[in-house]
Protein backbone atom coordinates (compact mmCIF):
# COMPACT_ATOMS: atom_id res chain seq x y z
CA UNK A 1 0.00 0.00 0.00
CA UNK A 2 1.24 3.50 -0.69
CA UNK A 3 -0.65 5.36 2.06
CA UNK A 4 0.82 4.03 5.26
CA UNK A 5 0.59 6.02 8.47
CA UNK A 6 3.26 8.56 9.32
CA UNK A 7 0.84 11.16 10.65
CA UNK A 8 1.06 12.84 14.05
CA UNK A 9 -2.65 12.02 14.40
CA UNK A 10 -3.90 8.46 14.60
CA UNK A 11 -6.00 7.74 11.51
CA UNK A 12 -9.58 6.60 11.77
CA UNK A 13 -10.85 3.74 9.62
CA UNK A 14 -13.64 3.70 7.05
CA UNK A 15 -14.61 0.40 5.43
CA UNK A 16 -16.80 0.61 2.33
CA UNK A 17 -19.10 -2.29 1.48
CA UNK A 18 -20.52 -1.30 -1.93
CA UNK A 19 -23.32 -3.89 -1.99
CA UNK A 20 -27.09 -3.35 -1.91
CA UNK A 21 -30.16 -5.48 -2.48
CA UNK A 22 -31.21 -2.81 -4.97
CA UNK A 23 -29.54 0.52 -5.65
CA UNK A 24 -31.71 3.52 -4.77
CA UNK A 25 -32.51 5.76 -7.77
CA UNK A 26 -31.03 8.86 -6.11
CA UNK A 27 -27.78 7.32 -4.91
CA UNK A 28 -24.56 8.64 -6.43
CA UNK A 29 -22.20 6.50 -4.33
CA UNK A 30 -20.53 3.50 -5.92
CA UNK A 31 -22.46 0.31 -5.16
CA UNK A 32 -23.77 -2.76 -6.97
CA UNK A 33 -26.33 -5.50 -6.39
CA UNK A 34 -25.24 -8.15 -3.92
CA UNK A 35 -26.80 -10.75 -6.23
CA UNK A 36 -24.18 -9.97 -8.89
CA UNK A 37 -21.17 -10.67 -6.70
CA UNK A 38 -19.56 -13.16 -4.36
CA UNK A 39 -19.76 -11.48 -0.93
CA UNK A 40 -17.39 -14.03 0.60
CA UNK A 41 -14.54 -13.03 -1.75
CA UNK A 42 -15.23 -9.35 -1.09
CA UNK A 43 -15.16 -9.86 2.68
CA UNK A 44 -11.90 -11.79 2.41
CA UNK A 45 -10.38 -8.95 0.38
CA UNK A 46 -11.65 -6.28 2.78
CA UNK A 47 -10.33 -8.18 5.79
CA UNK A 48 -6.96 -8.59 4.10
CA UNK A 49 -6.72 -4.87 3.38
CA UNK A 50 -7.73 -4.05 6.95
CA UNK A 51 -4.82 -6.19 8.14
CA UNK A 52 -2.47 -4.39 5.77
CA UNK A 53 -3.36 -0.82 6.64
CA UNK A 54 -4.17 -0.78 10.36
CA UNK A 55 -2.07 -3.54 11.87
CA UNK A 56 0.29 -1.12 13.60
CA UNK A 57 -1.78 1.92 14.51
CA UNK A 58 -4.18 3.17 17.13
CA UNK A 59 -7.53 3.94 15.52
CA UNK A 60 -9.90 6.32 17.34
CA UNK A 61 -13.03 5.57 15.31
CA UNK A 62 -14.29 2.91 12.91
CA UNK A 63 -17.12 3.37 10.42
CA UNK A 64 -18.49 0.56 8.24
CA UNK A 65 -20.73 1.95 5.52
CA UNK A 66 -21.97 1.35 2.02
CA UNK A 67 -23.96 0.49 0.11
CA UNK A 68 -25.77 -1.49 2.74
CA UNK A 69 -23.49 -3.62 4.94
CA UNK A 70 -26.50 -5.45 6.39
CA UNK A 71 -27.51 -6.82 2.97
CA UNK A 72 -24.73 -9.40 3.34
CA UNK A 73 -25.16 -12.72 5.13
CA UNK A 74 -24.56 -12.06 8.81
CA UNK A 75 -21.79 -14.66 9.10
CA UNK A 76 -19.81 -12.80 6.43
CA UNK A 77 -20.38 -9.36 7.92
CA UNK A 78 -19.47 -10.83 11.29
CA UNK A 79 -16.22 -12.21 9.89
CA UNK A 80 -15.24 -8.73 8.69
CA UNK A 81 -16.26 -6.98 11.91
CA UNK A 82 -14.35 -9.57 13.94
CA UNK A 83 -11.23 -8.93 11.87
CA UNK A 84 -11.60 -5.19 12.51
CA UNK A 85 -11.93 -5.67 16.28
CA UNK A 86 -8.85 -7.93 16.24
CA UNK A 87 -6.70 -5.39 14.41
CA UNK A 88 -7.96 -2.07 15.71
CA UNK A 89 -6.94 -0.97 19.17
CA UNK A 90 -8.44 1.65 21.43
CA UNK A 91 -11.35 2.83 19.30
CA UNK A 92 -13.77 5.26 20.93
CA UNK A 93 -16.63 4.72 18.49
CA UNK A 94 -17.56 1.87 16.14
CA UNK A 95 -20.39 2.67 13.70
CA UNK A 96 -22.16 0.33 11.32
CA UNK A 97 -24.72 1.54 8.79
CA UNK A 98 -27.87 -0.55 8.62
CA UNK A 99 -30.97 -0.72 6.47
CA UNK A 100 -34.07 -0.77 8.72
CA UNK A 101 -35.57 -3.60 6.69
CA UNK A 102 -32.49 -5.81 7.04
CA UNK A 103 -32.05 -6.00 10.81
CA UNK A 104 -33.82 -8.06 13.43
CA UNK A 105 -33.12 -8.87 17.07
CA UNK A 106 -30.48 -11.59 16.42
CA UNK A 107 -28.59 -9.36 14.00
CA UNK A 108 -28.71 -6.35 16.30
CA UNK A 109 -27.63 -8.46 19.29
CA UNK A 110 -24.74 -9.80 17.25
CA UNK A 111 -23.60 -6.30 16.21
CA UNK A 112 -23.76 -5.05 19.79
CA UNK A 113 -21.95 -8.06 21.23
CA UNK A 114 -19.09 -7.87 18.72
CA UNK A 115 -18.35 -4.30 19.80
CA UNK A 116 -20.37 -2.02 17.52
CA UNK A 117 -21.26 1.00 19.66
CA UNK A 118 -23.18 3.18 17.20
CA UNK A 119 -25.93 2.23 14.76
CA UNK A 120 -26.72 4.48 11.78
CA UNK A 121 -30.10 3.67 10.21
CA UNK A 122 -30.92 4.85 6.70
CA UNK A 123 -34.53 5.72 7.42
CA UNK A 124 -34.89 8.65 4.96
CA UNK A 125 -38.62 9.24 5.60
CA UNK A 126 -41.53 8.05 7.71
CA UNK A 127 -44.00 8.67 4.88
CA UNK A 128 -44.86 5.54 2.82
CA UNK A 129 -45.29 7.39 -0.46
CA UNK A 130 -41.97 9.22 -0.03
CA UNK A 131 -40.18 5.95 0.72
CA UNK A 132 -41.67 4.55 -2.49
CA UNK A 133 -40.47 7.55 -4.51
CA UNK A 134 -36.98 7.10 -3.08
CA UNK A 135 -36.98 3.43 -4.04
CA UNK A 136 -36.50 2.32 -0.45
CA UNK A 137 -37.40 -1.28 0.36
CA UNK A 138 -38.29 -0.77 4.03
CA UNK A 139 -41.41 0.65 5.66
CA UNK A 140 -41.86 3.38 8.25
CA UNK A 141 -42.89 0.69 10.73
CA UNK A 142 -39.58 -1.10 10.18
CA UNK A 143 -37.65 2.06 11.07
CA UNK A 144 -39.55 2.24 14.37
CA UNK A 145 -39.04 -1.47 15.03
CA UNK A 146 -35.30 -1.26 14.28
CA UNK A 147 -34.82 1.66 16.67
CA UNK A 148 -36.83 0.07 19.47
CA UNK A 149 -35.15 -3.33 19.11
CA UNK A 150 -31.67 -1.78 18.92
CA UNK A 151 -32.35 0.03 22.16
CA UNK A 152 -33.63 -3.16 23.80
CA UNK A 153 -30.43 -5.08 22.95
CA UNK A 154 -28.20 -2.38 24.43
CA UNK A 155 -27.52 0.28 21.79
CA UNK A 156 -27.46 3.70 23.42
CA UNK A 157 -26.20 5.56 20.35
CA UNK A 158 -28.68 5.27 17.47
CA UNK A 159 -28.84 7.63 14.50
CA UNK A 160 -31.43 8.01 11.76
CA UNK A 161 -30.87 9.67 8.38
CA UNK A 162 -33.73 11.72 6.92
CA UNK A 163 -34.12 13.29 3.48
CA UNK A 164 -36.17 16.38 2.68
CA UNK A 165 -37.24 18.04 -0.58
CA UNK A 166 -38.44 14.72 -1.97
CA UNK A 167 -40.65 15.24 -5.05
CA UNK A 168 -44.26 15.37 -3.90
CA UNK A 169 -43.38 16.04 -0.27
CA UNK A 170 -44.82 18.96 1.68
CA UNK A 171 -43.94 20.99 4.74
CA UNK A 172 -46.52 18.92 6.62
CA UNK A 173 -45.05 15.56 5.58
CA UNK A 174 -41.53 16.74 6.45
CA UNK A 175 -42.70 18.02 9.82
CA UNK A 176 -44.32 14.64 10.49
CA UNK A 177 -41.08 12.74 9.71
CA UNK A 178 -39.06 15.01 11.95
CA UNK A 179 -41.58 14.66 14.75
CA UNK A 180 -41.57 10.87 14.48
CA UNK A 181 -37.78 10.75 14.71
CA UNK A 182 -37.89 13.02 17.77
CA UNK A 183 -40.56 10.87 19.40
CA UNK A 184 -38.42 7.77 18.88
CA UNK A 185 -35.73 9.39 21.02
CA UNK A 186 -32.81 8.62 18.74
CA UNK A 187 -29.55 10.26 19.74
CA UNK A 188 -28.56 11.49 16.29
CA UNK A 189 -30.49 12.80 13.28
CA UNK A 190 -29.00 13.69 9.91
CA UNK A 191 -31.22 15.85 7.69
CA UNK A 192 -30.13 16.08 4.05
CA UNK A 193 -31.76 17.74 1.07
CA UNK A 194 -32.35 15.35 -1.79
CA UNK A 195 -29.67 15.92 -4.40
CA UNK A 196 -29.78 15.06 -8.08
CA UNK A 197 -26.51 13.25 -8.73
CA UNK A 198 -25.19 12.80 -12.26
CA UNK A 199 -26.11 9.61 -14.11
CA UNK A 200 -28.74 8.44 -11.61
CA UNK A 201 -32.29 7.33 -12.47
CA UNK A 202 -33.67 10.17 -10.36
CA UNK A 203 -31.77 12.78 -12.39
CA UNK A 204 -32.86 11.19 -15.64
CA UNK A 205 -36.48 11.31 -14.43
CA UNK A 206 -36.12 15.01 -13.66
CA UNK A 207 -34.55 15.75 -17.02
CA UNK A 208 -37.35 13.86 -18.79
CA UNK A 209 -40.03 15.72 -16.86
CA UNK A 210 -41.30 12.60 -15.09
CA UNK A 211 -40.82 14.23 -11.69
CA UNK A 212 -40.99 17.83 -10.52
CA UNK A 213 -38.28 18.86 -8.02
CA UNK A 214 -39.18 20.80 -4.91
CA UNK A 215 -38.60 24.51 -5.50
CA UNK A 216 -35.65 26.25 -3.85
CA UNK A 217 -37.76 28.30 -1.45
CA UNK A 218 -39.59 25.25 -0.09
CA UNK A 219 -36.27 23.39 0.12
CA UNK A 220 -34.89 26.23 2.25
CA UNK A 221 -37.99 26.32 4.45
CA UNK A 222 -37.73 22.57 5.05
CA UNK A 223 -34.13 22.95 6.16
CA UNK A 224 -35.04 25.85 8.45
CA UNK A 225 -37.86 23.77 9.93
CA UNK A 226 -35.42 20.96 10.69
CA UNK A 227 -33.11 23.35 12.54
CA UNK A 228 -35.96 24.84 14.57
CA UNK A 229 -37.71 21.58 15.45
CA UNK A 230 -34.59 19.63 16.32
CA UNK A 231 -32.93 22.32 18.39
CA UNK A 232 -36.20 23.00 20.20
CA UNK A 233 -36.32 19.27 21.00
CA UNK A 234 -32.86 19.42 22.60
CA UNK A 235 -30.64 18.31 19.74
CA UNK A 236 -27.40 20.22 19.21
CA UNK A 237 -26.96 21.45 15.65
CA UNK A 238 -23.26 20.63 15.35
CA UNK A 239 -22.78 20.40 11.55
CA UNK A 240 -24.72 21.80 8.60
CA UNK A 241 -26.83 18.65 8.22
CA UNK A 242 -26.32 16.90 11.55
CA UNK A 243 -27.98 17.10 14.95
CA UNK A 244 -27.23 15.15 18.11
CA UNK A 245 -28.18 14.83 21.73
CA UNK A 246 -25.42 16.29 23.94
CA UNK A 247 -22.44 13.96 23.87
CA UNK A 248 -23.65 11.96 20.85
CA UNK A 249 -22.14 13.84 17.90
CA UNK A 250 -20.59 11.37 15.44
CA UNK A 251 -16.90 11.31 16.39
CA UNK A 252 -15.89 9.70 13.12
CA UNK A 253 -17.43 12.45 11.03
CA UNK A 254 -16.03 15.10 13.36
CA UNK A 255 -12.64 13.75 12.33
CA UNK A 256 -13.46 14.38 8.67
CA UNK A 257 -14.55 17.95 9.38
CA UNK A 258 -11.37 18.56 11.37
CA UNK A 259 -9.44 17.26 8.31
CA UNK A 260 -7.83 14.52 10.36
CA UNK A 261 -6.21 11.51 8.65
CA UNK A 262 -8.18 8.35 7.93
CA UNK A 263 -7.75 5.04 6.18
CA UNK A 264 -10.30 3.99 3.60
CA UNK A 265 -10.69 0.31 2.80
CA UNK A 266 -12.80 -1.16 0.01
CA UNK A 267 -13.81 -0.42 -3.58
CA UNK A 268 -13.97 3.36 -4.24
CA UNK A 269 -12.97 4.20 -0.67
CA UNK A 270 -10.71 7.18 -0.10
CA UNK A 271 -7.84 7.62 2.35
CA UNK A 272 -6.26 10.79 3.70
CA UNK A 273 -2.79 10.10 5.08
CA UNK A 274 0.20 12.46 5.26
CA UNK A 275 -1.82 15.13 3.39
CA UNK A 276 -2.13 12.70 0.51
CA UNK A 277 -5.57 11.61 -0.75
CA UNK A 278 -5.86 8.18 -2.32
CA UNK A 279 -8.95 6.69 -3.96
CA UNK A 280 -9.33 2.97 -4.48
CA UNK A 281 -10.59 1.23 -7.61
CA UNK A 282 -14.34 1.78 -8.02
CA UNK A 283 -14.95 -1.74 -9.26
CA UNK A 284 -15.61 -4.69 -6.98
CA UNK A 285 -14.07 -7.36 -9.21
CA UNK A 286 -10.98 -5.31 -10.03
CA UNK A 287 -10.53 -4.43 -6.35
CA UNK A 288 -10.75 -8.08 -5.31
CA UNK A 289 -8.27 -9.06 -8.04
CA UNK A 290 -5.81 -6.42 -6.84
CA UNK A 291 -5.99 -7.47 -3.19
CA UNK A 292 -5.80 -11.20 -3.94
CA UNK A 293 -2.72 -10.67 -6.11
CA UNK A 294 -0.89 -8.24 -3.80
CA UNK A 295 -1.41 -5.34 -6.21
CA UNK A 296 -2.06 -1.78 -5.15
CA UNK A 297 -5.84 -1.15 -5.18
CA UNK A 298 -5.33 2.62 -5.30
CA UNK A 299 -6.57 4.11 -8.56
CA UNK A 300 -5.71 7.76 -7.94
CA UNK A 301 -3.42 9.68 -5.62
CA UNK A 302 -3.34 13.42 -5.06
CA UNK A 303 -0.85 15.21 -2.86
CA UNK A 304 -1.89 18.57 -1.46
CA UNK A 305 0.35 21.59 -1.07
CA UNK A 306 0.36 23.36 2.31
CA UNK A 307 -1.92 26.06 0.89
CA UNK A 308 -4.32 23.50 -0.62
CA UNK A 309 -4.42 21.69 2.71
CA UNK A 310 -5.24 24.96 4.48
CA UNK A 311 -8.10 25.65 2.05
CA UNK A 312 -9.40 22.11 2.49
CA UNK A 313 -9.30 22.50 6.25
CA UNK A 314 -11.14 25.81 6.14
CA UNK A 315 -13.95 24.39 4.00
CA UNK A 316 -14.33 21.30 6.18
CA UNK A 317 -14.14 23.25 9.45
CA UNK A 318 -16.83 25.66 8.29
CA UNK A 319 -19.26 22.76 7.94
CA UNK A 320 -19.19 22.62 11.72
CA UNK A 321 -21.57 25.02 13.42
CA UNK A 322 -18.71 26.16 15.65
CA UNK A 323 -16.76 26.88 12.48
CA UNK A 324 -13.02 27.48 12.32
CA UNK A 325 -11.18 27.72 15.61
CA UNK A 326 -8.29 30.11 15.01
CA UNK A 327 -5.81 28.34 17.31
CA UNK A 328 -6.77 24.88 16.03
CA UNK A 329 -6.44 26.02 12.43
CA UNK A 330 -2.97 27.46 13.04
CA UNK A 331 -1.88 24.25 14.80
CA UNK A 332 -3.24 22.07 11.97
CA UNK A 333 -2.13 24.07 8.94
CA UNK A 334 0.55 26.51 10.07
CA UNK A 335 -1.50 29.47 8.78
CA UNK A 336 -3.46 32.16 10.59
CA UNK A 337 -6.96 31.91 9.19
CA UNK A 338 -7.63 35.62 9.70
CA UNK A 339 -4.61 36.55 7.58
CA UNK A 340 -4.96 33.83 4.95
CA UNK A 341 -8.62 34.56 4.20
CA UNK A 342 -8.75 38.23 5.22
CA UNK A 343 -10.57 39.41 2.10
CA UNK A 344 -12.99 36.49 1.98
CA UNK A 345 -13.84 36.91 5.66
CA UNK A 346 -14.39 40.67 5.37
CA UNK A 347 -16.71 40.16 2.41
CA UNK A 348 -18.63 37.41 4.17
CA UNK A 349 -19.10 39.51 7.29
CA UNK A 350 -20.30 42.47 5.21
CA UNK A 351 -22.89 40.23 3.50
CA UNK A 352 -24.11 38.78 6.79
CA UNK A 353 -22.85 35.30 5.92
CA UNK A 354 -19.99 35.00 8.41
CA UNK A 355 -19.46 35.80 12.07
CA UNK A 356 -15.86 36.56 12.98
CA UNK A 357 -14.05 37.38 16.20
CA UNK A 358 -10.60 36.84 17.68
CA UNK A 359 -11.29 33.13 18.28
CA UNK A 360 -12.32 32.25 14.71
CA UNK A 361 -15.10 32.39 12.13
CA UNK A 362 -18.37 30.56 11.53
CA UNK A 363 -21.35 30.59 9.20
CA UNK A 364 -24.33 32.65 10.24
CA UNK A 365 -27.84 31.19 10.36
CA UNK A 366 -28.52 33.14 7.16
CA UNK A 367 -25.63 31.37 5.42
CA UNK A 368 -26.51 27.80 6.40
CA UNK A 369 -29.08 27.17 3.62
CA UNK A 370 -26.59 28.38 0.99
CA UNK A 371 -23.49 27.01 2.68
CA UNK A 372 -22.00 25.40 -0.42
CA UNK A 373 -21.79 28.72 -2.25
CA UNK A 374 -20.17 30.37 0.77
CA UNK A 375 -17.64 27.58 1.22
CA UNK A 376 -16.56 27.90 -2.41
CA UNK A 377 -14.94 31.20 -1.53
CA UNK A 378 -12.54 29.36 0.81
CA UNK A 379 -11.81 26.48 -1.53
CA UNK A 380 -9.32 28.11 -3.84
CA UNK A 381 -6.80 30.84 -3.16
CA UNK A 382 -4.05 31.97 -5.49
CA UNK A 383 -0.73 30.47 -4.47
pLDDT in tens, 114-127: 999 999 999 999 99
Asked if 108 and 155 count as a contact pair (C-beta separation under 8 A), the reply is yes
- Using one digit for the tens of pLDDT, what is the confidence trace for 159-172? 999 999 999 999 99
| Structure confidence at residue 55 as a pLDDT band (50, 70, 90) | low
Q: Is the confidence at residue 7, as pLDDT, over 60?
A: no
Q: Is the confidence at residue 251, as pLDDT, over 80?
A: yes
What pLDDT score does 252 carry? 97
Q: Is the confidence at residue 152, as pLDDT, over 70?
A: yes
Across the range 51-62, mean pLDDT stands at 82
Q: Is the confidence at residue 146, as pLDDT, over 60?
A: yes
The percentage of residues in the chain with a pLDDT greater than 70, rounded to a whole number, is 96
What ranges do the domains of the chain cover?
Answer: 12-256, 307-379
Supply the DSSP string of 50-91, one letter for each residue. Answer: HHHHHTTSB-SEEEEEES-GGGS-HHHHHHHHHHHHHH-BS-
- The class (CATH top level) of 12-256 is alpha beta
Question: Looking at beta carbons, which pairs linking 215-223 to residues 24 or more positions away fall under 8 Å?
Answer: 218/165, 218/171, 219/164, 219/165, 219/193, 220/369, 221/171, 222/164, 222/165, 222/169, 222/171, 222/174, 222/193, 223/164, 223/191, 223/193, 223/368, 223/369
Q: Is the confidence at residue 193, as pLDDT, over 90?
A: yes
| Structure confidence at residue 57 as a pLDDT band (50, 70, 90) | low
What pLDDT score does 1 carry? 40
* Mean pLDDT lowest among 63-77, 83-97, 108-122, 356-370: 83-97
What pLDDT score does 6 carry? 34
Q: Is the confidence at residue 2, as pLDDT, over 80?
A: no
* Mean pLDDT lowest among 52-56, 105-109, 314-318: 52-56
| Structure confidence at residue 206 as a pLDDT band (50, 70, 90) | very high
What pLDDT score does 383 carry? 45
What pLDDT score does 54 carry? 83
Question: Looking at beta carbons, which pairs linking 303-311 to residues 24 or more positions away fall under 8 Å?
Answer: 303/275, 303/276, 303/277, 304/275, 304/276, 304/277, 305/383, 306/333, 306/334, 306/335, 307/381, 307/383, 309/259, 309/275, 309/333, 310/334, 310/335, 310/340, 311/378, 311/379, 311/380, 311/381
- Using one digit for the tens of pLDDT, what is the confidence trace for 165-192? 999 999 999 999 999 999 999 999 999 9
- Averaged confidence pLDDT in the chain: 94
Q: Is the confidence at residue 89, as pLDDT, over 80?
A: no
- Using one digit for the tens of pLDDT, what is the confidence trace for 294-349? 999 999 999 999 999 999 999 999 999 999 999 999 999 999 999 999 999 999 99
What pLDDT score does 56 carry? 56
| Structure confidence at residue 112 as a pLDDT band (50, 70, 90) | very high
The percentage of residues in the chain with a pLDDT greater than 90, rounded to a whole number, is 92
Q: Who has greater pLDDT, 6 or 278? A: 278
| Structure confidence at residue 381 as a pLDDT band (50, 70, 90) | confident
- Domain 307-379 part of CATH 3.30.200.20: no
Amino acid sequence: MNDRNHSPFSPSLYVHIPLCVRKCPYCGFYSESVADHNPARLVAALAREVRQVVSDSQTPTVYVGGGSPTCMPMDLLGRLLYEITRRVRGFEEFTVEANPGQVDRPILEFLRNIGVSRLSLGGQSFQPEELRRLGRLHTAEQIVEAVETAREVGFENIGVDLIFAIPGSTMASWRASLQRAIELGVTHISAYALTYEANTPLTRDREAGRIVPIDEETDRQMYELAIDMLTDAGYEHYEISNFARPGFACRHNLGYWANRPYYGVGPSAGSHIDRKRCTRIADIRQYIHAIENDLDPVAETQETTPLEFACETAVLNLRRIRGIDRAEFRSTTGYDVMDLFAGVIADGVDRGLLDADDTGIRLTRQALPIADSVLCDFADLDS
